[in-house]
């Protein structure tokens, strides 16, 4: 990884907009910008104080033709996002003018940035740690206020602070163990064994608490995968449309209308849902419908939550029973639809968890929404904007926890301090991966390559 060159990219989304920003970072950012910028007051960027904005024109240095009228933000190292000199050229937001400016910047010595390379430099130059860098992406990608708040907290360093504290406690514990390696003639006393045991338990508790918060946090970040399933014609697509409040899926009186999985996003009380309408399940010969049924069964498997739709106006079918069975190990809400018609359905054992609705008339929907939130969060209703939201972090926390567990086991077996110290070293490495202290290069690469260009 070399950071001695100057990178440039368009940092605003493609398409037309009021403004578009070309961003530069690196040791030649100011020189390059000066070579194509003319201010009417003859201001030079290199003579300008940091954190100022200059007005002027970008000129083609060969033809001296004006390319665009711009504002230039000047941010000089080290008080910048990347800790390098940063120049942001605010152009007009059309596709042509911003691309011409980018091309000029490249012609004059900058290199096109890789995805996430600005953030990567911020990380490599110690401006933010890895968990904060990941939070940058989460802020951009968040879909609800709750998930955005959680991402901003992580960006502020709240999670990193907790991780650093755990690391420090692990280092203290490791130091205790090391004393017995350094003075082998001293036997490990019961008192200090107890102390080490208690310290490691305390760290494990903190880890468990973080892992626990991820149950909510992962949903917050990824969206709760919710599958609407049921046999044909029970009103699954009608339910999807009612929930998202638009005519998203086709509804007809003919069974077998939906053939493919239709996905929509929905925000219920801050809980992001990826809600999927599926093909009605029955045994069929039609090839396309058969494939649809296969996908529906897969959707049940993959779902975090299953909305099992039953037709209240008909007795329970064999297929209903099969679906009740197929989804029994899932978080599931039986939804009894068509309650506007006379009711013939009998489901004694599922009744208490079920919610009655009429997708057609729009009744019972707010009760269903409440039930979705409580079922999804398992009573964990407190909005926890400090939650761990990243599966990579969860894995690292679990690895740390496992090493600490092994540490205590070995301690009880009176294993020699050298071996105990190995377990703690592993715990330290695992927890350090979260903030980028011990993260392998390939993982770093993967993380930053998932960013957009210009971030
Ligand atoms: N009376 C009444 N009819 C409903 C209700 N919900 C849906 N329907 C009707 O039931 C029929 C089937 O609705 P869909 O939403 O297409 O059913 P589906 O489960 O998606 O069906 P497939 O895609 O074929 O599996 C349509 O004629 C709807 O108008 C309801 O609450 N009450
Ligand atoms: Mg349908």
Q: Does domain 134-219+390-436 have CATH number 3.40.1160.10?
A: no
Instruction: Give the distance, in angstroms, between the CA of residue 354 and the centroid of all CA atoms in the same chain.
Output: 31
Could you say which residues of the chain have pLDDT below 50? Answer: none
Please enumerate in sequence order all residues whose Cβ is within 8 A of that of 154, keeping only pairs 6 or more positions apart, or say none. 131, 132, 134, 135, 138, 160, 389
Decide if 49 contacts 144 (C-beta within 8 A): no
CB 251 near ligand 1, within 6 Å: yes
Atom of ligand 1 nearest to the CA of 241: 15
CB 256 near ligand 1, within 6 Å: yes
Q: Which ligand is nearest to the CA of 229?
A: 1
CB 360 near ligand 1, within 6 Å: yes
Ligand 1 mean position, distance from CA 267 (Å): 23
Domain ranges of the chain: 7-127, 134-219+390-436, 224-377
So what's the pLDDT on residue 379? 61
CB 231 near ligand 1, within 6 Å: no
CB 255 near ligand 1, within 6 Å: yes
CB 252 near ligand 1, within 6 Å: yes
Ligand 1 mean position, distance from CA 340 (Å): 12
pLDDT tens for 294-329 read: 888 899 999 999 999 999 999 999 999 999 999 999
Ligand 2 mean position, distance from CA 229 (Å): 9
pLDDT tens for 40-85 read: 889 999 999 999 999 999 999 889 999 999 999 999 999 999 999 9
- For residue 65, the tally of other CB atoms under 10 A from its CB is 10
Distance CA(361)–CA(134), nearest Å, equals: 44
Helix (H) or strand (E) holding 255: none
Closest-CA residue, ligand 1 atom 14, reads 235
Strands 86-92 and 19-25: antiparallel
CB 237 near ligand 1, within 6 Å: yes
Q: What is the CA radius of gyration of the chain?
A: 29
Ion ligand 2 neighbours (CB, 5 A) are 236-237, 257-258
Atom of ligand 1 nearest to the CA of 251: 16
CATH code of the domain occupying 224-377: 3.40.50.300
CB 253 near ligand 1, within 6 Å: yes
**Fold of the domain built from segment(s) 7-127:** Gyrase A; domain 2 (3.30.1360)
CB 340 near ligand 1, within 6 Å: yes
| Strand order across the 7-10 sheet | 37-38, 52-59, 66-75, 86-92, 19-25, 7-10, 111-112
> Are both 7-127 and 224-377 of the same fold?
no
Q: Quick check: bond before 78 cis, omega within 30?
A: yes
Please enumerate in sequence order all residues whose Cβ is within 8 A of that of 313, keeping only pairs 6 or more positions apart, or say none. 338, 341, 342, 343, 344, 345
Extract the runs of DSSP E, i.e. beta strands, from 300-399: 305-311, 332-337, 355-356
Ligand 1 mean position, distance from CA 257 (Å): 10
Ligand 2 mean position, distance from CA 254 (Å): 9
Atom of ligand 1 nearest to the CA of 256: 24
Instruction: Give the distance, in angstroms, between the CA of residue 403 and the centroid of all CA atoms in the same chain.
Output: 26
- Overall pTM > 0.75: yes
CB 358 near ligand 1, within 6 Å: yes
Closest-CA residue, ligand 1 atom 26, reads 253
So what's the pLDDT on residue 367? 96
Decide if 31 contacts 46 (C-beta within 8 A): yes
CB 234 near ligand 1, within 6 Å: yes
């Amino acid at each position: 990884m070399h950071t001695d060159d100057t990178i440039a990219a368009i940092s605003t989304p493609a398409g037309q907009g009021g403004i578009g920003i070309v961003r530069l970072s690196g040791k030649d950012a100011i020189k390059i910008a000066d070579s194509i910028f003319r201010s009417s007051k003859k201001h030079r960027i290199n003579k300008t104080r940091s954190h100022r904005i200059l007005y002027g024109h970008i000129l083609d240095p060969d033809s001296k033709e004006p390319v665009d009228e711009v504002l230039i933000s000047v941010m000089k190292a080290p008080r910048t996002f990347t800790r390098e000199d940063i120049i942001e050229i605010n152009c007009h937001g059309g596709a042509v003018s911003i691309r011409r400016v980018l091309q000029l910047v490249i012609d004059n010595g900058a290199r096109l940035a890789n995805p996430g390379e600005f953030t990567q430099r911020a990380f490599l130059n110690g401006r933010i740690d890895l968990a904060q860098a990941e939070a940058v992406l989460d802020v951009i990608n968040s879909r609800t206020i709750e998930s955005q708040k959680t991402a901003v907290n992580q960006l502020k360093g709240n999670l990193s602070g907790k991780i650093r504290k755990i690391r420090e406690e692990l280092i203290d514990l490791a130091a205790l163990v090391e004393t017995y390696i350094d003075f082998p003639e001293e036997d490990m006393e019961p008192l200090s064994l107890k102390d080490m045991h208690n310290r490691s338990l305390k760290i494990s508790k903190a880890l468990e608490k973080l892992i626990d918060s991820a149950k909510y946090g992962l949903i917050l970040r990824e969206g709760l995968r919710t599958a609407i399933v049921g046999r044909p014609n029970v009103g699954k697509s009608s339910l999807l449309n009612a929930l998202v409040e638009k005519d998203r899926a086709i509804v007809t009186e003919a069974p077998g209308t939906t053939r493919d999985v239709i996905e929509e996003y929905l925000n219920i009380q801050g809980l992001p849902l990826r809600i999927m309408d599926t093909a009605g399940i029955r045994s069929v010969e039609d090839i396309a419908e058969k494939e649809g049924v296969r996908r529906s069964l897969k959707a049940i498997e993959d779902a975090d939550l299953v909305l099992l739709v039953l037709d209240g106006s008909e007795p329970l079918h064999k297929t209903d029973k099969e679906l009740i069975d197929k989804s029994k190990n899932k978080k599931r809400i039986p939804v009894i639809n068509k309650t506007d018609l006379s009711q013939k359905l009998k489901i004694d054992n599922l009744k208490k968890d079920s919610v009655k609705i009429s997708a057609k008339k729009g009744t019972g929907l707010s009760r269903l929404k409440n039930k979705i939130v409580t079922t999804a969060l398992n009573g964990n209703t407190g909005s926890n904007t400090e939650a761990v939201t990243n599966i990579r972090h969860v894995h690292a926390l679990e690895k740390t926890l496992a090493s600490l567990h092994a540490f205590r086991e070995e301690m009880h077996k009176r294993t020699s301090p050298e071996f105990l110290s190995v377990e703690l070293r592993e715990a330290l490495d695992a927890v350090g991966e979260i903030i980028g202290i011990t993260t392998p290069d390939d993982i770093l690469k993967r993380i930053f390559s998932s960013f957009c260009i210009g971030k």
